[in-house]
Amino acid sequence: TSSLLRSPKGFPKLKNDTFLRAARGEETEHTPVWCMRQAGRYLPEFRETRASQDFFATCRSPKLCCELTLQPLRRFPLDAAIIFSDILVVPQALGMEVVMVPGKGPTFTEPLKEVEDLLKLREKVDVTAELGYVFQAITLTRHSLEGKVPLIGFSGAPWTLMSYMIEGGGSTTMAKAKSWLYRHPEASHRLLRLLADVIIDYLVGQVAAGAQALQLFESHAGHLGPELFQDFALPYIRDIAQTVKSKLKEEALPLVPMIIFAKDAHYALRDLAHAGYEVIGLDWTIRPQEARAQIGKHVTLQGNLDPCALYAPKEKIGELVKKMLESFGTQHYIANLGHGLYPDMNPEHVGAFVEAVHAHSRHINKH
């Protein structure tokens, strides 16, 4: 279709840049807000659009990804959109097969068991060939947003992707993946390096396609302690920020703000504050004042309402939001949940959350 051939140039003028200003540490009239997994199963229209399609087939359809990304923005005055995709498209680009099993979630048909299995992975990945469908989705969505709000691109971080590739799916302990870190440190670093290189090209490609900010998801950071995180996660998280930025400069692409979300990694906040990201995402298990004290004033914080707070009555959601804004302060801050929305949540409660952030932050800023 002709709409897919629109170039990543001549994008509509951005009307609401509050999210980008907050990410860069500039002053904002209200605190911007978006939700992880805002394009999700809690929306009946999402379930309808997804109903007939295989999950990863949906990910490979730029038109469907665009539609799913826009759905929450038709309902709520969110300050950012995040492209609909999945972190596991990166292992797929490396040649691994992942299927979405109903009731179980993403499942690798042949997870990595032995070090020799690394030989099955593609050594050189042409991200445009393997993940061009994500780039097309970003370009199409950026045009379709008509400048309403900025579009966020994302990727999983190396350790989180490695853990999925070895576990073959979700896990409560990550024992198989962690055993590699202890038993095969060299091979683990080889795999993490391979992943980091693909992620770097993937993120740069997303900016070239039109992404205006990038989030790196280290969703399984909580399974690592300080030492393992220091050895096997942090160096790659740092390198991704640095290399993406230097490649964006080289290619004369916009230097977009980058967000690191390392779930349950409060033990690493000081290190993450110096890892080269403009924004640090926080889960709900840390007090805002403690996070601010560890991270300092120069990095913008994002988070961290407990997603389950959205099960509360609407008035209660408003109170919790007010408290959160008073704790974080309304500046150098992007409101969000401490993790993604759950499928059984009431869309009206999501709306109450978004509106409360805008109303209370405006009020606090005025007074």
pLDDT for position 143? 97
pLDDT for position 3? 53
Just list the catalytic residues.
37, 41, 50, 86, 164
Quick check: 114 pLDDT over 90? yes
- Quote the number of domains for the chain: 1
Q: Which amino acid is at 248?
A: L
343-348: Cβ within 8 A, 24+ apart: 343/40, 343/41, 343/42, 344/42, 345/42, 345/307, 345/310, 345/311, 346/42, 346/310, 347/42, 347/43, 347/44, 347/75, 348/314
- Residue 144 sits in which domain range? 27-366
> In which band, very low, low, confident or very high, does the pLDDT at 102 lie, cut at 50, 70 and 90?
confident
Residue 247 lies in a domain: yes
Residue 2 lies in a domain: no
- Can you say whether the dihedral through the CA atoms of 348, 19, 265, 103 is positive or negative? positive
Residue 201 lies in a domain: yes
Residue 173 lies in a domain: yes
% of the chain at pLDDT higher than 90 = 96
pTM: predicted TM-score of the whole model, two decimal places: 0.98
Residue 19 lies in a domain: no
**Rounded to a whole number, what is the largest CA-CA distance in the chain?**
63
Q: What is the mean pLDDT of residues 8-25?
A: 96
What CA–CA distances, in Å, run from 137 to 6, 210, 308, 316? 11, 10, 31, 37
Residue 6 lies in a domain: no
Q: What is the mean pLDDT of residues 97-114?
A: 95
* CA distance linking residue 167 with residue 196, whole number of Å: 19
Identify the CATH number of the domain in which residue 86 sits: 3.20.20.210
Q: What is the mean pLDDT of residues 296-308?
A: 96
pLDDT for position 238? 99
Quick check: 287 pLDDT over 90? yes
pLDDT digits (tens, 9 = 90+) for 36-87: 999 999 999 999 999 989 999 999 999 999 999 999 999 999 999 999 999 9
Rg (CA), the chain: 20
Residue 335, SS3? strand
pLDDT for position 294? 97
Q: What is the mean pLDDT of residues 110-137?
A: 98
158 closest CA partner among 83, 205, 97, 228: 228
Residue 21 lies in a domain: no
Average pLDDT, the chain: 97
Q: Would you tell me how many other CB atoms lie within 10 Å of the CB of residue 120?
A: 11
Residue 6, SS3? coil
Q: Are strands 258-262 and 213-218 parallel, antiparallel or unpaired?
A: parallel
pLDDT digits (tens, 9 = 90+) for 178-206: 999 999 999 999 999 999 999 999 999 99
pLDDT digits (tens, 9 = 90+) for 310-334: 999 999 999 999 999 999 999 999 9
Quick check: 1 pLDDT over 80? no
Residue 5 lies in a domain: no
Tokens 């601010």 belong to which residue?
292
Residue 126's contacts (CB-CB under 8 Å, 6 or more residues apart) are: none
Q: What is the mean pLDDT of residues 282-307?
A: 97
